[in-house]
Amino acid sequence: MRFSPSFLDEIRDRVPISDVVGKRVTWDRRKTNVSRGDYWACCPFHGEKSPSFHCEDRKGRYHCFGCGVSGDHFRFLTELEGLSFPEAVQQIADMAGVAMPQPDPQAEQRERERTSLLDVMELATHFFQDQLQSATGAKARAYLRERGLTGRTIETFRLGFAPDSRNALKEFLAGKGIGKEQIEACGLVVHGPDIPVSYDRFRDRIMFPILSAREKVIAFGGRAMSPDAPAKYLNSNETELFHKGNVLFNFTRARRASQGADGAGTIIAVEGYMDVIALHQAGIENAVAPLGTALTENQLDLLWKLTAQPVLCFDGDGAGIRAAHRAVDLALPHLKPGRSVRFAMLPEGKDPDDVVRQDGREPFDRVLANARSLADMVWLREVQGGDFDTPEKRAELEGRLRQVSAVIADESVRRHYGQDMRDRLNAFLQGSAPFRGERRPFDRGGRQGGGQAGRQGGRGWSRAANPVLGAAVEAGTAGSSKLNQMMKAGGSLRPPVLRESVLALTIVNHPQLLFDEYDEIATIEFDHRDLQRCWAAVLNAAAANGLRLTRETLLEQLEAEGFSQLIGALDQQIRNARLWTATEAAAPEDAREGYLQALTLHRRTKALLWQKRELEREIAEATASEDADQGQRLVRAMEEVQLELHRMDKLEAIIEGFGVLSGRVKGPAAR
């Protein structure tokens, strides 16, 4: 009898392949790593004295590096023990505790029909691929080039183009002998009792084939070429082959990549097709995406089949944060020991495609390295932007945290989450004097920056008030040469550009900005290597301490992590430039204004540098294609960008004017 692929997959998933193979071999203790499901033995298919037979539970496969045999559970039993395929299936089903399916003529007929529909989908895929390479697909090819996709990437993902016609695909399939019922069953045409003549569902769209776990095309996603199209992205409708909530784009390819050395068992869930494809082209092949909707429970289960802790990657804007919060609520009830998720938040206004196109994979790797735990996301969601200045409000927070933990089904995980939230809450409330009517951290000796020290342009600063920065300042003010020596000693060959130093040191000296402007601050990207590491430590300290984080606490944590010399060097650079709004003596309003101006300059410069890189690439392409007119246009555009970059370099000096804002920091005093 025939067995459905879903039944075979189910029993394979339930039985580790090592349990099947282990009854016939003796595992080598030196090479085997049981905790990783990685086993070695002498090959049972040929005689050998040293173990070259490898069995891996995660992949559900075996392979002998001596004789070359490989396969899965069923092949092992049929080839080694001579069982028929149904007998092998029966044995694995018994081990899995799953009853064998009863013969069902109707089910077998449906399976034959499914196979036939898969053939139709394969024909449609070839049609779309051919159309992309034809004259009809010129506009679509140009769009894909503009998005930075290479011909190899287009071929790997089998991208295509649906022409702007109501019947091009339908007529092609009909010419291949495909019947009306099959075309409709595949969801390739729009049809119904109120539609006299069916017509192609996908028209004037770039086509993304969606594959099953067995790498068969089961559906399509189409990206509209026209800006006036009602839907930018359109997916196949639900069919016998395709159930959108049960499928992840690039699932099988990502599974293979995650099992390789580079993937390290990690799976990254991003938002769209182009994000997955751009990451793949940048060398990050273990990414998947839901199909245009929020992540579903079934899709989350698919991720957990691949890895114990997938990374969910969201845009850093408001919509992305709301999507992350929905994912928090989706994951919490299903947590188990050793099974969770992490959250990677991208810079605001950017998706993964933007990040890797501009700077390659390194910035995205940094985003992944700073991914937050689920517990961190829960805590930040509940306290961020909140006001807990009364007992009633603190009691309300405590109640919400209890409710969050209560939805976790697993008793052990639920208990530990409850304890973790209680510990965070206790530390938060014990350290939050401002919430009990006392002065906030800015009020040391009067309103920060509003007293005598602030009016003197920061000259009231002292080593006693800042022991971490004091050593650097009292070591002398030898200017940039001294700063360069300090940075080199700290492990970096150059100091940060001034705007990066302003951004970092303002937050260190005024950590309340972390919570007032968190959406903006969390997405800052630094070019300076040491600042990248320091910034991750700052964000981690904010997550761990919440609103009780003070400047003194933050400096202590940064010193403990080895950043005191860097912070001292930044302070020296800031004081040499007389940018007093970045120091601890500035008024909070002035610090915020200086920070926002520096951030604007920083982001504009980054955007211009990205434009410059894109133009360099396009000029090279125009030169290669000998398109003189296009080359001249691009060169003129490059000249404008370089002129703007030169202007931005001059604006760097204007940061010195940030201190003259509200009168609290006087210009002459800063000189």
Whether residues 462 and 570 fall in one domain:
yes
* 3-state percent helix, strand, coil for the chain, nearest multiple of 5: 55, 10, 35
Whether residues 622 and 494 fall in one domain:
yes
**Among the ranges given (10-14, 46-50, 301-305), the one the predictor scored with the smallest mean pLDDT:** 46-50
Mean pLDDT of 369-378: 92
Mean pLDDT of 53-59: 88
Mean pLDDT of 417-422: 92
Whether residues 317 and 229 fall in one domain:
no
Place of tokens 């899965």: 72
User: Cα–Cα–Cα angle for 638, 641, 642, nearest 5°?
Assistant: 85
Report DSSP state, residue 294: P
Position 349, amino acid: G
What's residue 266's pLDDT?
A: 84
What's the chain's average pLDDT? 80
Whether residues 328 and 370 fall in one domain:
yes
Examine the pLDDT at 440 and tell me if it is beyond 80. Answer: no
Of the pLDDT bands very low, low, confident and very high (cuts 50, 70, 90), residue 582 is confident
Q: What residues have CB less than 8 Å from 375, skipping those under 6 apart?
A: 417, 420, 421
Per residue in 224-237, pLDDT (tens digit) is 999 888 889 999 99
Q: Where are the alpha helices (DSSP H) in 134-250?
A: 138-146, 151-156, 168-175, 180-185
Whether residues 526 and 613 fall in one domain:
yes
How far is Cα 323 from Cα 344, in angstroms, rounded to an integer? 12
Whether residues 233 and 258 fall in one domain:
no
Mean pLDDT of 94-105: 81
Strand arrangement, sheet containing 205-211: 160-162, 205-211, 217-224, 233-235
What is the sign, positive or negative, of the torsion defined by CA atoms of 421, 422, 428, 431?
negative
What's residue 11's pLDDT?
A: 92
Structural domain containing residue 586: 458-671
Per residue in 261-280, pLDDT (tens digit) is 444 468 999 988 999 999 99
Neighbouring CB atoms inside 10 A of 363's CB total 19
Per residue in 541-556, pLDDT (tens digit) is 877 777 778 899 899 8
Examine the pLDDT at 469 and tell me if it is beyond 80. Answer: no
Structural domain count of the chain: 5
Query: What do you get for the CA distance between the two ends of the chain, in Å?
Result: 90
**Among the ranges given (99-103, 208-212, 275-279), the one the predictor scored with the smallest mean pLDDT:** 99-103
Of the pLDDT bands very low, low, confident and very high (cuts 50, 70, 90), residue 668 is very low
Residue 303 located in a structural domain? yes
Helix (H) or strand (E) holding 558: helix 551-560
Of the pLDDT bands very low, low, confident and very high (cuts 50, 70, 90), residue 464 is very low
Residue 443 located in a structural domain? no
Residue 346 located in a structural domain? yes
How far is Cα 409 from Cα 419, in angstroms, rounded to an integer? 16
What's residue 486's pLDDT?
A: 44
Q: Where are the alpha helices (DSSP H) in 176-309?
A: 180-185, 251-259, 273-281, 297-306
How far is Cα 19 from Cα 39, in angstroms, rounded to an integer? 11
Residue 451 located in a structural domain? no
- The CATH number of whichever domain residue 260 belongs to comes to 3.40.1360.10
Whether residues 506 and 620 fall in one domain:
yes
Examine the pLDDT at 80 and tell me if it is beyond 80. Answer: yes
Whether residues 357 and 284 fall in one domain:
yes
How far is Cα 456 from Cα 460, in angstroms, rounded to an integer? 7
Domain final position from 77, 96, 115: 96
Q: Strand 38-41 and strand 342-345: pairing? A: unpaired
Of the pLDDT bands very low, low, confident and very high (cuts 50, 70, 90), residue 459 is very low
Position 415, amino acid: R
Place of tokens 């196109």: 357
At 546, list the tokens: 């919440």
Cα–Cα separations (whole angstroms), residue 113 to 60, 108, 276, 314, 449: 28, 9, 31, 39, 76
Per residue in 563-576, pLDDT (tens digit) is 888 898 888 888 88
What's residue 665's pLDDT?
A: 42
How far is Cα 218 from Cα 189, in angstroms, rounded to an integer? 15
Per residue in 316-364, pLDDT (tens digit) is 777 888 889 999 999 999 998 878 999 999 887 788 888 888 778 888 9
Mean pLDDT of 641-649: 73
Examine the pLDDT at 119 and tell me if it is beyond 50. Answer: yes
**Among the ranges given (123-132, 209-218, 662-671), the one the predictor scored with the smallest mean pLDDT:** 662-671
Examine the pLDDT at 468 and tell me if it is beyond 50. Answer: no
Residue 588 located in a structural domain? yes
Report DSSP state, residue 102: P
* Cβ–Cβ under 8 Å, residues 546 and 383: yes
Residue 447 located in a structural domain? no
Mean pLDDT of 515-520: 62
Q: pTM above the 0.85 mark? A: no
Mean pLDDT of 644-651: 66
Per residue in 131-173, pLDDT (tens digit) is 999 999 999 999 999 999 999 999 999 999 999 999 999 999 9
Whether residues 476 and 592 fall in one domain:
yes
Residue 264 located in a structural domain? yes
Percent of the chain with pLDDT over 70: 82
Mean pLDDT of 493-501: 74
Domain final position from 209, 242, 275: 242
Whether residues 12 and 69 fall in one domain:
yes
What's residue 483's pLDDT?
A: 42
What's residue 262's pLDDT?
A: 45
Of the pLDDT bands very low, low, confident and very high (cuts 50, 70, 90), residue 376 is very high
Of the pLDDT bands very low, low, confident and very high (cuts 50, 70, 90), residue 210 is very high
- The CATH number of whichever domain residue 31 belongs to comes to 3.90.580.10
- The CATH number of whichever domain residue 210 belongs to comes to 3.90.980.10
Domain final position from 371, 404, 438: 438
Cα–Cα separations (whole angstroms), residue 588 to 449, 458, 516, 564, 595: 7, 13, 11, 23, 10
Whether residues 234 and 111 fall in one domain:
yes
Residue 195 located in a structural domain? yes
Mean pLDDT of 474-489: 40
The most confident of the ranges 203-207, 391-395, 478-482, 627-631 is 203-207
Whether residues 510 and 658 fall in one domain:
yes
Cα–Cα separations (whole angstroms), residue 192 to 113, 124, 171, 182: 21, 21, 18, 14
How far is Cα 442 from Cα 434, in angstroms, rounded to an integer? 10
Cα–Cα separations (whole angstroms), residue 115 to 5, 89, 216, 235, 465: 11, 21, 10, 21, 75
What is the sign, positive or negative, of the torsion defined by CA atoms of 315, 549, 381, 330?
positive
